[in-house]
Amino acid sequence: MSRIGKKPVELPTGVSASVSGQTVEVKGPKGVRNFTASDDVSITVEDNSVTITPRGKSKRARQQWGTSRTQVANLVTGVTTGFKKELEIQGVGYRAQMQGNVLKLNLGLSHDVNYTAPEGVTITAPKQTVIFVEGIDQQQVGQVAAEIREWRKPEPYKGKGIRYKDEFIFRKEGKKK
């Protein structure tokens, strides 16, 4: 019995959901998102909530039950508040700045790195050492943040690089004589 799947997804004011077949479409103040569930679950919209129930007692149906409920909850969160990742840059001379839709990163390489923000994701750099990645799609926001971080991962000796806010970097001790 899924503890997560049992809970209905509450729809806040200003958010509407509609089901056509196995596709759920959620509209809110920040935009429209949809999710297609597997055939192992059934989705219903009643009053101000979306309920997901498994079809049958198979293991796959029980697995998809909680997964589908979480996906629908993420749609509702995305269209109401959105998702945000914060990145910090540490290192002498490492900096970031926005020029239109392009994030320019100076990371100690022989060239500047230009990263164009994909559609649906907003990148801002309020300070030279802080980057915000925001959007309504949790997967896309996380992917963009991971791609930016990939240019210069934090290294374990000095901690230089691009890290997530509040990320712990295990520090190593250098060579000893």
Work out the mean pLDDT of the chain and round it to a whole number: 93
Say how far apart CA 67 and CA 107 lie, in whole Å: 38
Span(s) in the chain for CATH 3.90.930.12: 3-80, 83-164
* pLDDT tens readout for residues 32-48: 999 999 999 999 999 89
Q: Could you name the CATH architecture of 3-80?
A: Alpha-Beta Complex (3.90)
- pTM of structure: 0.88
* pLDDT tens readout for residues 51-73: 999 999 999 999 999 999 999 99
H runs (alpha helix) in 21-161: 59-80, 138-150
What pairs with residue 50 in β-bridges?
9, 45
Residue 84 pLDDT exceeds 80: yes
Say how far apart CA 68 and CA 38 lie, in whole Å: 8
Does residue 49 contact residue 10 with C-beta atoms inside 8 Å? yes
Does residue 5 contact residue 54 with C-beta atoms inside 8 Å? yes
- CATH superfamily, domain 83-164, is Ribosomal protein L6 (3.90.930.12)
